[in-house]
Amino acid sequence: MTNWFTRDAIRLLIPALSLTLLLLVIFYLQPRAMSYNGLNLLFNLAVPIALATIAQMLIMTVNDLDLSMGAFVSFVACVVATFLNTNPFLGIAILAAAILAYAALGVLIHVRNLPSIVVTLGMSFVWGGLAVLILPAPGGQSPVWLRALMVSKPPLVPLAIIASILVAVCAHFLIMRSSLGVVLRGVGGNFRSVERAGWSIVRARAIIYALAAFFAILAGSALVGLTTSADANIALRYTLLSIAGVILGGGEFVGGRVSPIGAVIGALTLTLAGSFLSFLRISPDWQIGAQGMILIIVLALRLLFNRLERRGKSA
Amino acid sequence: MTNIRPQDAVIEVRDARVSFGAVKALDGVTLAIQPGECVGLVGHNGAGKSTIVNVINGGLTPHEGRVALGGKLIEKYNVKVARDHGVRCVFQELSLCPNLTVTENTRIMHRSLAGWGWRKKASAVVRAKLDEIFPGHRIPVGALVGDLTIAERQMVEIATAFSEVIQKVRLIILDEPTSSLDAGLAAQLLAFVRAFVKTGGSVIFISHILGEILSTCDRIVVMKDGKVVAARPSEGCTEHSLVESMGSVVKGPSARSIREINTGEPVLSAARHAGKGLPLKAHRGEIIGLAGLGGHGQTETLIDIYLKESGNWVRERAPKVAFIAGDRRLNGVFPLWSIIKNMSIGHLSDLSTKGFIRRQDEAKLVENWKSKIEIRTKDVENGILSLSGGNQQKVLFARALATRADAVLMDDPTRGVDIGTKQEVYSILRSEADKGRTFIWYSTEMDEICLCDRVYVFNSGVIVAELTGDQVTEKNILAASFRSAAA
């Protein structure tokens, strides 16, 4: 009965193929990247981006968009590099309060029927301001255990790849397989039907925002573990990167159609795009443009596939 | 029905009253559903069927009146209480999540499907129910609902509603369940409904196909204007007697003037829909009514005509048709603009030179229309939202009538407008029609349809009848609304 060629699987095929293609080109340009250390270097910085992309994907599951993702990850990085290092209890308390704040945002957006982009855009200044208050100048230090975790070298497969797979699998289980995830995705698909079945939409929104904050906190922690110190503007790029990653991975802005595995692949592809350019000896200034090009190509391919599929159906 | 004690009822709604603004959607409805009974609910548009359904499934709390389950009065009745008591509803508009699979949608409907292995349990439950209701259905439960056809989605929705996980199903409300099913599937469903009722379950069955109601239901409740006007066993009812009781008491002849039938070249026309039914033609100076049950293709026909007659990209300087939307808030008014701007927007090309608006001409035009159709405001510079709903609608009328368009399309424009304003609107329409304008008017209100010179009755997207002059009566329109198209 299992049909592997579902629409979701085909959706996942395009980002997976584009990642493979990009990887092959990089290996062709720089054969030394094809090693344990090479792969680790290539994908190292993808881990926090993948986590932030999952956070963004959760928000997009309920048809919202989080424009404060980058500022929030920066804020988390500052907390991790200062409070969590010197006073772990206070640090954990601050991060827990941040999760509660996100849940409250979800409730506010639902109850007052506000556009999420406006609320989160406003919040981005709040998070940015708090980050500057904590760390006016770049500094701080990563907790030792976090640093040790992020630079650890497991046998055979580099940590960056293990971590990416782990993130994808956990998020897949949480949002695609669990019975809670079904309800959360249902809210994005047709919230009235979920409401009519007796579920509380406010609670669903609060849960999804809190989960997103949790993944964003993991992203900030991973980032500090890699860079050893933090800065109030360290992750501002993540807002757009995370949205692009979700879309690249087969997600949609509305309709509750998301794919955690695709989102992680999307994040990896966007990270690789940067390395790809440096192997071509093109200035990193072009990086954002190159990421945009990849996005356009993948979306064009998806449109083409959809059109072919529709034609196949009507025929 | 005195032999049945009221405390036996699965659900009883007592003297429920619901009003939306000035409109009384439910005006003291008492309805009790006994176990093992299939109740048919019929009535024309706006009779209150959907409202009573919403009250029963807990989605709407009546402003007055009470709800009792199994003889016990419930203080705070809501969706969750209803579901916990085994009251389920299959909605008219499809209400599944298209981004989830059939199995996952079953999970949404059934809270208790959780924990390890819920997916297997849910699949088994919904597959068994689909097999039971629609033998030979061939719907894979792992398929995304968005990939299924409309009929398959309706089948899935019905199956999930009838599925039992922990809570026994006591009452199912089927709101037009067969409208998207073909004859064979509909027959399977009706047979299942009979079997379900035999085992002690209850069903409220809403359909515009009276034959189905008569063959399936034990008792038929007829609603009109928010009231139950008849409730009787289905034996002894005929389609004719039902249609009769849905209509109102016979009124005197309306004040409609009979006009000679114009046979010249039509101003507007629409082809037959998908090769079925009758074509639509509108002549100069005619008021054409589009009737039939709500959502049977009237709005679509209006939009088709509008798109056909207006430029695709660039707006023409003298558009041939103007459109008056029914849903003011959604696609009528510009809420932040003043009355004057809201009125002149349709006419700006005639009011401007070289891209600039001539303010005096604009003011003159608006003053002219303000006095002509009596918009009650001190200053037309006030915001549009300072007006009452009826007066806002008058501004929209003025916007359309101020243009040079020969024809005006109206999509139920008097929805939620008080009776006084309506009368004023009717006289404006008539005088404009006498000057040679053509109106095509979709209305859900029988009184308005009866004002029209000619009426097309819709059913399932197709025009099934054309009534002219004296044939335009409530009785004829009702009878035609329930008639399906001859191919």
Look up the ipTM and state it: 0.87
**CA angle, corner B144, sides to B142 and B150, nearest 5?**
120
Domain that holds residue A91: 7-307
Minimal C-alpha gap between A191 and chain B (Å):
8
Please state, in angstroms and as integers, the Cα–Cα distance from residue B233 to each residue in B39, B41, B217, B220, following that order.
9, 12, 8, 6
- Secondary structure letter of residue A257 according to DSSP: -
Residue A62 located in a structural domain: yes
Both tokens of residue B481? 């609304």
Q: Which candidate, B200, B188, B185, B127, places its Cα nearest to that of B160?
A: B127
Hunting for tokens 């003159």 — which residue is that? B364
- Secondary structure letter of residue A237 according to DSSP: T
Minimal C-alpha gap between A161 and chain B (Å):
29
pLDDT of B403-417, one tens digit each? 888 888 988 887 766
Give Cα A67 distance to the centre of its chain: 13
Q: At what angle do helices A179-196 and A201-227 cross, to 10 degrees?
A: 150
More confident residue, B271 or B342: B342
Q: Across the interface, which of B95, B107, B140 has its CB nearest the CB of A179?
A: B107
Judge whether B410 and B434 are in contact, CB under 8 Å: no
Please list every residue in chain B whose beta carbon sits closer than 8 Å to the beta carbon of residue A259: none
Judge whether B463 and B480 are in contact, CB under 8 Å: no
B41: left (phi > 0), else alpha (psi -120 to 50), else beta? beta
Q: What are phi and psi of A173, to 5 degrees?
A: -65, -45
Distance in Å from the first CA to the final CA of chain B: 43
More confident residue, A225 or B471: A225
pLDDT of A235-281, one tens digit each? 999 999 999 999 989 888 888 899 999 999 999 998 888 788 778 88
**pLDDT at B195 > cutoff 90:** yes
List, in sequence order, the alpha helices (H) in B237-276.
239-246
Give pLDDT, residue A232: 93
Q: What is the mean pLDDT of residues B275-296?
A: 82
Give Cα A2 distance to the centre of its chain: 29
**pLDDT at B306 > cutoff 60:** yes
Q: Which candidate, B470, B441, B445, places its Cα nearest to that of B456?
A: B441
Q: Which candidate, B125, B192, B128, places its Cα nearest to that of B203?
A: B192
pLDDT of A202-226, one tens digit each? 999 999 999 999 999 999 999 999 9
Q: Predicted confidence band at A2 (pLDDT cuts at 50, 70, 90)?
A: very low
Q: Predicted confidence band at A102 (pLDDT cuts at 50, 70, 90)?
A: very high
Hunting for tokens 């000057």 — which residue is that? B435
Q: Exposure string (b/e) for B390-402, b if CB count within 10 Å is 16 or more?
A: bbbbbbbbbbbbb
Strands B407-411 and B321-324: parallel
B50 interfaces chain A, CB cutoff of 8 Å:
no
CA distance A134 to A130: 6
CA distance A163 to B447: 69
Give pLDDT, residue B487: 40
Q: At what angle do helices A159-172 and A46-61 cross, to 10 degrees?
A: 10
Q: At what angle do helices A69-81 and A238-248 cross, to 10 degrees?
A: 120
Please state, in angstroms and as integers, the Cα–Cα distance from residue B409 to each residue in B298, B321, B324, B416, following that order.
11, 7, 6, 18
More confident residue, A56 or B281: A56
**CA angle, corner B433, sides to B470 and B380, nearest 5?**
130
Q: What is the mean pLDDT of residues B210-215?
A: 86
Residue A238 located in a structural domain: yes
Give pLDDT, residue B45: 66
List, in sequence order, the alpha helices (H) in B178-282.
183-198, 210-216, 239-246
pLDDT of A72-88, one tens digit each? 999 999 999 999 999 99
Please state, in angstroms and as integers, the Cα–Cα distance from residue B328 to each residue in B339, B340, B422, B448, following that order.
14, 16, 15, 19
Give pLDDT, residue B416: 63
Q: Predicted confidence band at B260 (pLDDT cuts at 50, 70, 90)?
A: low
CA distance B267 to B407: 8
Give pLDDT, residue B251: 41
Q: Predicted confidence band at B418 (pLDDT cuts at 50, 70, 90)?
A: low
Give pLDDT, residue B426: 84
Q: Any bridge partners for residue B127, and if so which?
A: none
Would the pTM of this model clear 0.80, i.e. be above it? no
CA distance A230 to B261: 83
Q: What is the mean pLDDT of residues B421-425?
A: 78
Give pLDDT, residue B23: 67
Give pLDDT, residue A297: 84
Residue A240 located in a structural domain: yes
Residue A314 located in a structural domain: no
Both tokens of residue B422? 């309506």
Count the neighbouring beta carbons within 10 Å of the beta carbon of residue A281: 7
B337 interfaces chain A, CB cutoff of 8 Å:
no
Give pLDDT, residue B311: 63
B318 interfaces chain A, CB cutoff of 8 Å:
no
Q: Is B177 helix (H, G, I), strand (E, B) or coil?
A: coil
Q: Predicted confidence band at B434 (pLDDT cuts at 50, 70, 90)?
A: confident
B393 interfaces chain A, CB cutoff of 8 Å:
no
Give pLDDT, residue B282: 84
Both tokens of residue B454? 């000619």
Length of chain B: 487
Q: Is B249 helix (H, G, I), strand (E, B) or coil?
A: coil
More confident residue, B386 or B39: B39
What is the maximum span of chain B, computed from C-alpha positions, in angstroms?
Answer: 81
pLDDT of A149-185, one tens digit each? 998 888 888 999 999 999 999 999 999 999 999 999 9
Judge whether A201 and A208 are in contact, CB under 8 Å: no
Residue A312 located in a structural domain: no
Q: Which candidate, B96, B202, B207, places its Cα nearest to that of B158?
A: B96
Q: What are phi and psi of A286, to 5 degrees?
A: -85, 0
Residue A63 located in a structural domain: yes
Q: Across the interface, which of B79, B95, B113 has its CB nearest the CB of A190?
A: B95
The total number of structural domains in chain A stands at 1
A198/B142 Cβ within 8 A = no
Please list every residue in chain A whose beta carbon sits closer than 8 Å to the beta carbon of residue B99: 185-186, 188-189, 255-257
CA distance A256 to A253: 8
CA distance B77 to B83: 10
CA distance B350 to B347: 6
A189/B99 Cβ within 8 A = yes
**pLDDT at B264 > cutoff 70:** no
Minimal C-alpha gap between B90 and chain A (Å):
10
How high does pLDDT run on average in chain B? 82
- Secondary structure letter of residue B325 according to DSSP: -
- Amino acid letter for position A103: A
Q: Is B248 helix (H, G, I), strand (E, B) or coil?
A: coil
CA distance A256 to B96: 13
CA distance B123 to A178: 14
Question: Domains of chain B by range and CATH?
Answer: 6-246 (3.40.50.300), 262-320+405-487 (3.40.50.300), 340-404 (no CATH)
Residue A90 located in a structural domain: yes
Q: What are phi and psi of B322, to 5 degrees?
A: -120, 155
Percentage of residues in chain B having pLDDT higher than 90: 14
pLDDT of B315-354, one tens digit each? 666 678 888 887 777 778 888 888 888 888 888 878 888 8
Rg of chain B on CA atoms, in Å: 25
**CA angle, corner B89, sides to B85 and B94, nearest 5?**
150
CA distance B330 to A186: 25
**pLDDT at B313 > cutoff 80:** no
More confident residue, B467 or A305: B467
A8/B108 Cβ within 8 A = no
Interface test mutation site (partner B, options A5, A12, A190, max chain B beta carbons within 10 A): A190
Hunting for tokens 């509750």 — which residue is that? A256
Domain with A69 in it: what CATH number?
1.10.3470
pLDDT of B62-119, one tens digit each? 888 888 888 888 888 888 888 888 899 888 667 899 899 999 999 998 888 888 889 9
Q: Across the interface, which of A1, A193, A199 has its CB nearest the CB of B95?
A: A193
Q: Across the interface, which of A6, A188, A198 has its CB nearest the CB of B144?
A: A6
Give pLDDT, residue B334: 87
Distance in Å from the first CA to the final CA of chain A: 24
Q: Across the interface, which of B109, B140, B144 has its CB nearest the CB of A197?
A: B109
**pLDDT at A3 > cutoff 70:** no
More confident residue, B392 or A226: A226
CA distance B317 to A226: 64
Give Cα B143 distance to the centre of its chain: 31
Give pLDDT, residue B125: 92
Q: Across the interface, which of A6, A190, A197 has its CB nearest the CB of B98?
A: A190
Q: What is the mean pLDDT of residues B54-63?
A: 86
pLDDT of A13-51, one tens digit each? 888 988 999 899 989 988 888 888 888 888 988 999 999
CA distance B153 to B158: 9
B147/A179 Cβ within 8 A = no
- Secondary structure letter of residue A176 according to DSSP: I
